[in-house]
Amino acid sequence: MTDSNQHQVNVHSRLTVVSSTPTEPVGRISALSPIDHIMSTHTVHVIYYYLTSPFSKQGRYAMDLDNVRISLSDLLSKYPWMTGRLVRDVHGNWEVKYNDAGIRMFKASVGTTVDEWLRFADESDERNLTVWEDMPDGDPTSWSPFRIQINEFVGGGIAIGISFPHLLADPTSANLFYKSWTDAERGDPTGHHPPILGLPQLNNRPPPNIENTSITIKYLQKNSKLAPDISTKMATFSFKFSNKMIKQGLSKIAEKCPNATPYEYLTALFWLQIIKLKTLNADSPTHSISLCLDARNLLDVPIPKKFFGNALHFSQLCLPNEMLIGDNGLAEAVESVHHHVNGMKKDDIFSLIDWIESSREGLDGVYPKAVQMYGPELTCVSLEHLVIPKHDSKDELESLVYEAKFRNNEKPVHVSYHVGKAEGAGLIIVAPSPEGGLARMVTVTLQAAEAVKLCEDPVIMGMVPTMIVSGGR
């Protein structure tokens, strides 16, 4: 940043927001799923930026923060996972106790405008807009897993940061909760629909088929043996690609893969360029990447997008070097990613759950130790499922992320995603863009020297991205 004092984030108040209606029955315990447990190494952080404050200063109270607590308290009555506390069962596995202890809310001030921040802040600055706090060792029953930080900028802009342990939910859950909050604050009845908690099919699934070792299990087994160097300095940069440039890119590989999505195209593009940066591995006979996809549509829940928890599918795609080099390497890679993404099956989710459960049986009822899911090898996360057709047009696309509007109906100008403890080979998150349509935001975390080189890569820069929260690049 150009002026550390001017851009300092000053947290000046903290309060607890509880649900307006007590959870019944009091003290109910909800066990976390096997998939939840394997994600417990990481944390999730999502930040929503607005050019003007969406909170009305008129209402029952004089303070805008007090106003917004009313709708939030009402909504939290439907999210006992968020207001409860983590406890362990007799085997040592995690559960949520519904005790209505509430979530922590922080209020902070920032000495610059939102526009200046988005142009000149970097990832280390942005961390201060949300809470990065690991679960305490020992007994966490007094620790609030969910934190919301409201950051007020000079000129009236605002950023709302949500943070929580990945053990309890994934980034999609954060988006769905936040969208419900904005709907409820705006008076939209859709914001009052309760979420679906827990995986229904865990209680009514077919007999375990341990021999069906899915690619997700192979990925998990492989990761359990990897120990990335967490001492290596990492850097994060965000690239905003326009609808026009993504459309041009997709047209260039349309003959090879006519149905490719922006995620599949950008995954292949960044993968190939990052391979070239990692000079020690550039001549390897094969190259691999981890693909992280949302599996909600495979869960047999009545409304998949209302599921609150972890519904992620990790798998590895490995391609020979000779396929990736040469003039047609990008098209080949896009086609391979496309087939891999569309090959995801419900059996992969079932077999993963069965494998974890069978491992638990051999460990006196304790789930296997969580492993690092993001970063031991280059990992690319898709939020493509959050882009949907507009209500009044089948041809135009909009994002649930940027439809999160409070009372003044203003959309976010940017949304940032971060995952804690994702050090190692790198992390790529492909998310919707405020422009809508095919436009996408790509947030890349790499070892610092590699990340700087990527920002100078002629292929990436040839797509004329706008750099967001990237230190003024």
Q: Under CATH, which number does the domain 215-393+419-468 receive?
A: 3.30.559.10
> Residues 211, 440: contact at Cβ < 8 Å?
no
How much is the pLDDT for 371? 83
Residues 6+ apart with CB under 8 A from 204: none
CA atoms within 13 Å, Cβ hemisphere of 390? 9
What's residue 60's pLDDT? 45
Q: What is 9-198's CATH superfamily?
A: Chloramphenicol acetyltransferase-like domain (3.30.559.10)
- Residue spans of the domains in the chain: they are 9-198, 215-393+419-468
pLDDT at 63 (0 to 100): 46
Degrees (nearest 5) of the Cα angle 215, 45, 291? Answer: 20
Whole-prediction pTM: 0.93
Beta bridge partners of 239: 442, 467
Q: Which two tokens stand for residue 140?
A: 């966490």
> Is residue 188 a contact partner of residue 409, using CB atoms and an 8 Å limit?
no
Q: How far is it, in rounded angstroms, from Cα 118 to Cα 8?
A: 14
Task: Spell out a b/e string for 235-270, using b for 16 or more CB atoms within 10 Å of the CB, else e.
Answer: bbbbbbbbbebbeebbeebeeebeebbbbbbbbbbb
Q: If we measure between CA atoms, which residue out of 286, 253, 280, 283 comes closest to residue 267?
A: 253
First to last CA, the chain: 11
Q: Counting every residue, how long is the chain?
A: 473
Q: Where are the beta strands (DSSP E) in 208-285?
A: 234-241
pLDDT number for residue 216: 64
Which pair of tokens denotes residue 273?
């360029």
CA 461, 235, 178, 166 torsion: positive or negative? Answer: positive
Tokens in use for 338? 């496309």
pLDDT (tens digit per residue) in 58-100 = 544 434 566 677 889 999 999 999 999 999 999 889 999 999 9
CA nearest 430: which of 296, 264, 286, 295?
264
Contact 67, 57 (CB under 8 A): yes
Alpha-carbon span 441 to 434, nearest angstrom: 9
Phi/psi for 102 (5° steps) reads 90, 175
* Dihedral sign from CA coordinates of 54, 58, 62, 66: negative
| Secondary structure of residue 12 in the 3-state scheme | strand
Segment 182-239, tens digit of pLDDT: 988 888 877 667 888 877 655 455 554 545 455 666 666 666 655 555 667 899 999 9
Dihedrals phi, psi of 122, to nearest 5 degrees: -120, 180
Q: From first to last of its 473 residues, what are the pLDDT tens digits of the chain?
A: 445 566 789 998 898 999 999 888 777 899 998 889 999 999 999 999 999 887 656 544 434 566 677 889 999 999 999 999 999 999 889 999 999 999 999 999 999 999 999 999 999 999 999 999 889 888 898 899 999 999 999 998 999 999 999 999 999 999 999 999 998 888 887 766 788 887 765 545 555 454 545 566 666 666 665 555 566 789 999 999 999 999 999 999 999 999 999 999 999 999 999 998 886 556 788 899 999 999 998 877 777 788 999 999 898 999 998 888 777 899 999 999 999 999 988 888 877 887 888 878 667 888 888 888 998 889 999 999 999 877 665 567 778 899 999 877 889 999 999 999 998 899 999 999 999 999 999 999 999 999 999 999 999 999 999 999 999 88
The sign one gets for the Cα dihedral 426, 38, 417, 16 is: negative
